[in-house]
């Protein structure tokens, strides 16, 4: 039932008159043990969907925050295989929060598409985003995931025109991830006025929930974005807060949970 766990997340949020909260965290950052606790705690704090980044040595579409998180994760010996273990352990206690894996294609290809998809199903992963695997190239991934009832989620971006959008939303399930800015993660700030029209276009075309991400750092931005979308995605801001707290010897797990609670509250619809 993985796809329905994602649908449920959006339904629940809608019933509570808010946008679903999607939080991104890098597997193995700042340490593998803390990373596991962060998953539990941001779920408790209010994340409806957790995007777990699995690290890649060459994160071409990420800004400095997530690049550094990936390097830390790799230094902590995190792998795609261990990311699956992380999810498996998380699922022992938590059956409700949807889990989406997000990363780059090569670790997936290296594991093998069929095996990867099977692992997703076995460990309780509900959806997958492969950043550098556009519709033109993702047949193998798509086929593998479909056979295992795992959602393929693609990104639509400011450069995706109406014509391309049709291609992007074909064959996906779960939700559409709308990237609010042309840029890498965690750099430019979101401009909600500028993306309004594009988001409604995506919404009406996709007939799926739309979550908006990239550039949401503050509660104010979260609140404004929540007015436009079915979900909001926050990544680099959480990664930074957690790591800075960890570095300063503070309780980064609690800080992550508080962050989730605050953002969930901010995501209410007017």
Please list the active-site residues.
51, 62
CB atoms within 10 A of CB 266: 22
* Cβ–Cβ under 8 Å, residues 211 and 230: yes
244 binds another protein (CB under 8 A): no
16 binds another protein (CB under 8 A): no
Residue from 96, 110, 200, 244 in contact with another protein (CB under 8 A): 110
For another protein, give the closer residue by CB, 140 or 258.
140
* Cβ–Cβ under 8 Å, residues 94 and 102: no
Q: Cβ neighbours of residue 137 under 8 Å, at least 6 residues apart?
A: none
CB of 66 to another protein, least distance (A): 11
CB of 171 to another protein, least distance (A): 14
Residue 82, SS3?
Answer: helix
161 binds another protein (CB under 8 A): yes
173 binds another protein (CB under 8 A): no
SS3 readout for 175-244: CEEEECCCCCCCCCCCCHHHHHHHHHHHHHHHCCCEEEECCCCCHHHHHHHHCCCCEEEECHHHHHHHHH
105 binds another protein (CB under 8 A): yes
**Of 77-96, which residues contact another protein (CB under 8 A)?**
79-81
Q: Phi first, then psi: what are they for 162, rounded to 5°?
A: -60, -40
For another protein, give the closer residue by CB, 67 or 224.
67
32 binds another protein (CB under 8 A): no
Please give the angle made by the CA atoms of 152, 1 and 109, to the nearest 5 degrees.
35
- Closest by Cα among 4, 1, 12 to 175: 4
**Of 120-159, which residues contact another protein (CB under 8 A)?**
131-134, 136-137, 154-159
The 8-class DSSP code of residue 134 comes to: -
61 binds another protein (CB under 8 A): yes
For another protein, give the closer residue by CB, 178 or 259.
178
Q: Which residues bind another protein (CB under 8 A)?
A: 55-64, 67, 71, 74, 79-81, 104-111, 131-134, 136-137, 154-161, 164, 168, 179, 182-184, 187-188
């Amino acid at each position: 039932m993985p796809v329905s766990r994602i649908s449920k997340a959006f339904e629940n949020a809608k019933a509570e008159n808010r946008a679903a909260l999607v939080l991104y965290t890098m597997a193995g950052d700042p340490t593998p043990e803390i990373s596991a606790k962060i998953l539990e705690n941001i779920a408790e704090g209010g994340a409806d969907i957790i995007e777990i980044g699995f690290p890649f040595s060459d994160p071409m579409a990420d800004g400095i925050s997530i690049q550094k998180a990936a390097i830390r994760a790799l230094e902590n010996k995190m792998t795609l295989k261990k990311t699956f273990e992380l999810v498996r352990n998380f699922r022992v206690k938590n059956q409700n929060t949807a889990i989406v894996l997000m990363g780059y294609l090569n670790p997936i290809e290296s594991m093998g598409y069929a095996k990867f998809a099977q692992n997703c199903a076995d460990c309780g992963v509900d959806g997958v985003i492969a950043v550098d695997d556009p519709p033109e190239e993702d047949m193998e991934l798509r086929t593998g995931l479909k056979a295992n009832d795992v959602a393929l989620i693609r990104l639509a971006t400011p450069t995706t025109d109406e014509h391309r959008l049709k291609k992007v939303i074909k064959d996906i399930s779960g939700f559409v991830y709308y990237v609010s800015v042309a840029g890498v993660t965690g750099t430019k700030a979101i401009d909600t006025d500028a993306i309004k029209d594009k988001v409604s276009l995506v919404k009406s075309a996709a007939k799926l929930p739309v979550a908006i991400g990239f550039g949401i750092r503050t509660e104010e931005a979260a609140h404004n974005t929540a007015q436009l979308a079915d979900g909001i995605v926050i990544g680099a801001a959480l990664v930074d807060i957690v790591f800075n707290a960890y570095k300063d010897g503070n309780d980064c797990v609690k800080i992550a949970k508080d962050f989730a609670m605050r953002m969930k509250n901010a995501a209410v619809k007017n």
